[in-house]
Structure 1
Amino acid sequence: MSQADKARAFADLHRKGDPVVLFNIWDAGSAKAVADAGAKALATGSWSVAGAQGYGDGEALPLDLLETIVRRITATSELPLSVDFEGAYATGPTGVGKNIARMIAAGAVGVNFEDQKVGGTGLYPVAEQAARIGAARAAAEDAGLPFFINARTDLFLKDREPANHPALIGEALARARAYTDAGASGIFMPGLKTPELIEQAVEAVELPLNILIMPGVPEPEELAALGVARISYGPGPWRDMMAWVTERAGKIYGV
């Protein structure tokens, strides 16, 4: 299957009410395990990939090393791969476009692309983030690839108190509309937990909506019933695996 075929197949998996479930991976080995379990697509988690290499999250993992890991995953699995690309390791649109091109060349068929200022504070202004998304889309078009840009807004991660989220949903939806117009393929709202607000977002957002599994978020079956089209597990699988390794090693070493 060509990279373009994989990209189209990945996009087709995003169906409201019948979501693609992504049990996020961190290397070629975890990719094989998840693929063997029956996954239809693969997706990295930035925290997981960085932690597996001894780095912190937030683009601390060198871009060259991330590219190597992506190439290794795509070389060893036939499943479509989406990369959690944080802020694309760039601030301006030109840098974003160049780095998206690197992920495409490494074999990825999509990315998560967030609107928080990595290493800074707050979120990019809507127009500025839209321009960054536009640069990512232009890079995909230059490569002739129907690349899946999962545009993430970090509003609900910046304020994790669900009681405050009704006051944020309007801005989140405005960002979703702007990101859609700029060339996004999907909208990611990690941290959004309240069923009523998730349903409101599903109804208001033209593109497939992605929700992150975390404490307080409805179970996958309920998310599907609400119309969510993509469910991600983020750093959860890696954290669970590291906890298991620590526990087993502790028993061996008597800790």
Structure 2
Amino acid sequence: MNDKIKHFGDLHVPGDPLILYNIWDAGSAKAVSEAGAKAIATGSWGVACSLGFKDGETLPIDAALANLERILSVTDLPVTIDMEAGYGADPAAVGASVARAAAAGAVGINIEDKDPVTRKLFETPDAAARIKAAAASGLWVNARADLFILTPKEQHDAAVVDAVVERAKAYADAGASSLFVPFIYEAVLIGRLCEKSPLPVNILVGEAIPDIKTLAGLGVARISHGHGPWAKAMQDLGEAARAAMASLNQG
């Protein structure tokens, strides 16, 4: 593990979480770096959309890695890349893809435990094998557990948390460094997850999610903003453009 990866890992402190305001290109990386970020994280949704693709590994890996290299060229901060399900049909292919991100200079990756095409969860042993291949790169592997995404909100309960924790144990044994659980909403469930998880917990902020201070108090170690920054930037751009187009007709 090199010093930059170790430094990135040391930023994952339960109760004093690493805040990641996800970016999509070199320009947004530079803006977030200058805003005082401690690390830079891409979001696959924003990256794909900014290059004219849809989320779900439709963006070719060569384009994703070229984008990573441009981001790395404008910041000295640790950069972690969202690699969706690992860009590989099997563990060996995942390992090869992640090794390319490591060679480019990334310190970490996100990897999901569901198939980007079928949107179904991989069986736990299969997901763990993919994580093990990714972890062989030496990067910080943020293992994303998507059980809450695939479970209707009204069915979110302690049993779903416990099912995620069982997956997390397998992912930790496979070499994952942290656990990303998006779309978990209730403070009591987040607290239970942080208490039981064998890995530092990463939560995605958004509507109906407790605020950052509350998440910190629950023991969260990493907080991501996902596609929110991209969506806000595009909303602001659209509103400004509409105002500019309408200005000729004013008065």
Moved over 3 A (4+): none
Contact 1:165 1:192 in 2 (8 A): no
* Residue matched to 1:144: none
Equivalent AA in structure 2 for residue 29 of structure 1: G
Q: TM-score, normalised by structure 2?
A: 0.95
For residues 36 and 160 of structure 1, do their structure 2 counterparts lie closer, same or farther at Cα, with a shift above 3 Å needed? farther
Whole-Å Cα distance in 2 between the matches of residues 100 and 160 of structure 1?
A: 32
* Residue matched to 1:164: 156
Whole-Å Cα distance in 1 between the matches of residues 36 and 194 of structure 2?
A: 27
- For structure 1, the 5+ residue unaligned runs are 141-146
Do residues 247 (structure 1) and 245 (structure 2) align? no
* Residue matched to 1:36: 34
Please report how far the alpha carbon of residue 212 of structure 1 lies from its aligned counterpart in structure 2 after TM superposition.
0.1
* Residue matched to 1:133: 131
Do residues 173 (structure 1) and 165 (structure 2) align? yes
After superposition, residues 14-25 of structure 1 pair within 5 angstroms as: 14-25=12-23
Equivalent AA in structure 1 for residue 165 of structure 2: L
Do residues 73 (structure 1) and 71 (structure 2) align? yes
Whole-Å Cα distance in 2 between the matches of residues 94 and 5 of structure 1?
A: 27
Whole-Å Cα distance in 2 between the matches of residues 98 and 107 of structure 1?
A: 15
Partner-residue secondary structure (3-state), 2:37: coil
Do residues 229 (structure 1) and 229 (structure 2) align? no
Whole-Å Cα distance in 1 between the matches of residues 155 and 236 of structure 2?
A: 33
- For structure 2, the 5+ residue unaligned runs are none
198, 207, 212: which one pairs with 1:215?
Answer: 207
Whole-Å Cα distance in 1 between the matches of residues 157 and 83 of structure 2?
A: 25
Please report how far the alpha carbon of residue 162 of structure 1 lies from its aligned counterpart in structure 2 after TM superposition.
4.7
Please report how far the alpha carbon of residue 171 of structure 1 lies from its aligned counterpart in structure 2 after TM superposition.
1.2
Contact 1:28 1:76 in 2 (8 A): yes
Whole-Å Cα distance in 2 between the matches of residues 4 and 66 of structure 1?
A: 23
After superposition, residues 83-94 of structure 1 pair within 5 angstroms as: 83-94=81-92
* Residue matched to 1:154: 146
Give the share of equivalent positions with the same residue, in percent: 45
RMSD, aligned α-carbons: 1.3
Whole-Å Cα distance in 2 between the matches of residues 170 and 14 of structure 1?
A: 22
Please report how far the alpha carbon of residue 122 of structure 1 lies from its aligned counterpart in structure 2 after TM superposition.
1.1
Whole-Å Cα distance in 2 between the matches of residues 162 and 193 of structure 1?
A: 11
Partner-residue secondary structure (3-state), 1:187: strand
Whole-Å Cα distance in 1 between the matches of residues 119 and 20 of structure 2?
A: 28
Equivalent AA in structure 1 for residue 32 of structure 2: V
Partner-residue secondary structure (3-state), 2:131: helix
